[in-house]
Amino acid sequence: MRIRNAMTALGLVAMLASAGYATTAAAAPAATANSATETIKTFDGDYGVTSDNGFQLPAIPIQKVKPQFRRQIVEYKTDEAEGTIIVNTRERHLYYILGNGEAMRYGIGVGKQGFSWSGTAYVAWKQEWPNWHPPKEMAVRRPEIAKYVDGGMNPGLSNPLGARAMYLYNEKGQDTLFRLHGTPEWASIGTAASSGCIRLINQDVIDLYSRVLPGRSTKVIVIQ
């Protein structure tokens, strides 16, 4: 399939104030791509048991994941530079631009209605097996996680940020509080289940993490 829709980007931050996320917007430049894509290569064999930094990630029953949400290289025409990340929340896909008309495509889970956002940002920094610090506003909605607001949840197989996290900042250098991160909940990929961040299967976020160089040159475009 090829993506032919012109993308007009909105400001970064359409989250409700009650979600506790940043409210500083950043305008996104227009971008174009082709919406129907043709698969060049698939990676169904990369979802087995994975040993990583002392943790043993369980195998993903990949046949239970819809084919369009499994990692694959696809044809993707865009004017964006190699290394750009384009997140299409409507399609539930994240594209890492490889150049030469190709992209690595990953299935994603996105924010629930009312927690969605769009615009441009950049990957300011990234972390392997991160701690999780939920915002206070989230703890009000979910009292059972209040103990993690200050101390954080230690890295582990049940940590909501999974095996990797990439932290998105706006053009002013401010933390948006949005992340690209892993998840132990592989069945949520392809759904709107998170509180706003973009989640990937752990094996996929490890692959994406290895490709991303933090800095302003690593642009992230999020399309609704």
Active-site choice (13, 123, 197, 223): 197
Residue 114 lies in a domain: yes
Residue 25 lies in a domain: no
Look up 197 and say whether it is catalytic.
yes
Residue 22 neighbours by CB under 8 Å, 6+ apart: 12, 13, 170, 174, 175, 176, 177, 178
CATH of the domain at 190: 2.40.440.10
The pair of structure tokens assigned to 1 is 């399939």
Q: For residue 115, what pLDDT is reported?
A: 63
Please give the Cα distance from 148 to 30 (Å, whole number): 39
pLDDT > 70 in the chain, percent: 82
pLDDT tens for each residue of 173-221: 999 888 999 999 999 999 998 777 899 999 999 999 999 999 999 999 9
Residue 123's alpha-carbon distances to 3, 54, 183, in angstroms, are 24, 26, 18
* Rg of the chain on CA atoms, in Å: 17
Domain enclosing residue 218, as ranges: 39-222
Active-site choice (92, 126, 181, 219): 181
Residue 9 lies in a domain: no
Banded model confidence at residue 5, pLDDT cuts 50, 70, 90: very low
Residue 182, amino acid:
G
Whether 103 and 92 have beta carbons less than 8 Å apart is answered as no
Look up 93 and say whether it is catalytic.
no
Number of domains in the chain: 1
Residue 27 lies in a domain: no
Is the pTM here over 0.75, yes or no? yes
Residue by residue, DSSP assigns 210-222 as HH---STTSEEEE
Residue 4 lies in a domain: no
Residue 11 lies in a domain: no
pLDDT tens for each residue of 69-123: 999 999 999 999 999 999 999 999 999 999 999 999 999 999 876 566 789 999 9
Q: For residue 123, what pLDDT is reported?
A: 98
pLDDT tens for each residue of 42-61: 999 999 999 999 999 999 99
8-state DSSP, 139: H
